[in-house]
Structure formats: structure tokens, C-alpha cells
Amino acid sequence: MNSIKEITVHETEVKKSKFISVAIPANVESDISIALQNLRKEYAGANHYTYAYVLGDRGNIQKASDDGEPTRTAGFPILEVLLKQDLTNILLVVIRYFGGIKLGKGGLIRAYSSSASEVLKDITLTKKITTYNCVVTCSYDSIGSIDRYLREHTVLSDVIYDKDITFKFQMNSDFFEEVKEQLFHKNNYQDTLKVIHEFSEYA
């Protein structure tokens, strides 16, 4: 799944009603609450602040709100757009200033879905990157080739000299198998590589 880099805004008008779509990066549900509070202040006087959000690496946290519009005519269409785009860690709010002409359920669904889709055309996508903190141990016989390889292909953070040598380093998960294979060969065909911690971010 992908996420978005920055706040993006798009505005459109449907039968005199103004729809303002705001896509916002969000990592946790507390981010959602703060963003909604800020939007209600920034766009004071709007009739509806409908939204949907998707959180989590697998997009398993989802919620949609119609905020007073007829059931499943606003929040759910917005959520469907997010899911079709395979996005996570995102809040998408569509703010409506009513223009005096009722759109009907079908018209509302089209208006909110279209507003959500349009703002996503302008977003900058970010990709999930997983980083591993690793250690590998070797004998003094192998120190030269392993030290040189790790300095050239990973972010080496520490070298501990004891009975054996322990290297601590960091690398992108995309290169894990390649690094593992190279270290295996350079370490006299011993697999001593261990992942001690991993973390993910969208960048």
C-alpha cells in the first residue's frame, strides 16, 4: 500500500454546492481528531464535514462518516475511493457548503465520490520503506572483506571487538536477501546475520 506525502486540497462546484476535498497524511487516530478540529475552524460555516480514513500497514483500520448527509451517500463513497487506490495512513475530508439545490442520494454519491477522486489526482504518493537493524558476527579471519562490504552497502553503526567481531548496521529491507547471501559467502559460509529490530515509514 501507498500513502501520501503532504496535505492536498481540491475544490469543485455541483449545482451551486461547493465541495472542498482535503487529503491529509495521518498515522494514528489522534491525528484524525486534530485534523478534523482544524478543518472545522478553517472552513467554518460549512454544512457537512464528511470523511473517511484508512490507517495501518495493511489498511485494517477504516472509518467513514456522513456527518448528517443521508446514510452511505458521503463517507462510504469516499472510503471506497481510498480503498480502490490502495492507500493507507490517509484522511480524506470532503467539506460541503450547501448551495440550495438538493442533489438526491444518487447525486450525493456521485458528488462525494468524484470530489474524493479529483483530489487524489493531485497527491504525491509515498511508498512504505522497511528498515532493518542487524548484527553479524565473524572471526578475525573474515573481518577485512566483511567490514569493507558493510561500509559500502549498508549503514554501519558499530564494530565490537571481542572473541569474535560483531558488526551492527542498518539496511533497507529490499536488499536483505542480497546482503545476507554476500555475508554468507564472505563469512566462510556461516549464516550469523540477525535482524534485531525493524521499523517502517512512508517516504
- Cβ pair 48, 69 in contact under 8 A: yes
- Given phi > 0 = left and psi -120 to 50 = alpha, else beta, which region is 188? left
Condensed to tens digits (0 to 9), the pLDDT of residues 135-158 reads 999 999 999 999 999 999 999 999
Q: Please check the confidence at residue 33 and state whether its pLDDT lies above 90.
A: yes
203 or 99: whose pLDDT is higher?
Answer: 99
- Cβ pair 107, 4 in contact under 8 A: no
Indicate the pTM of the whole model: 0.79
Check residue 73 and give its pLDDT.
98
Which domains are delineated in the chain? 2-123 (3.30.230.30), 127-202 (3.30.70.240)
- Cβ pair 141, 119 in contact under 8 A: no
Mean pLDDT, rounded, for 26-49: 96
Q: What percent of the chain has pLDDT over 90?
A: 95
Task: Determine how many CB atoms are found less than 10 A away from the CB of residue 52.
Answer: 26
Q: How far apart are CA 93 and CA 65, in angstroms?
A: 9
Question: Could you tell me the CA-to-CA distances from 66 to 83, 99, 107, 203 in Å, in that order?
Answer: 17, 18, 14, 31
Query: Which residues pair with residue 169 across a beta bridge?
Result: 134, 156
Q: How far apart are CA 115 and CA 56, in angstroms?
A: 24
Residue type, 99: G
85 or 201: whose pLDDT is higher?
Answer: 85
Check residue 57 and give its pLDDT.
84
Check residue 201 and give its pLDDT.
84
What does pLDDT average to over the chain? 96
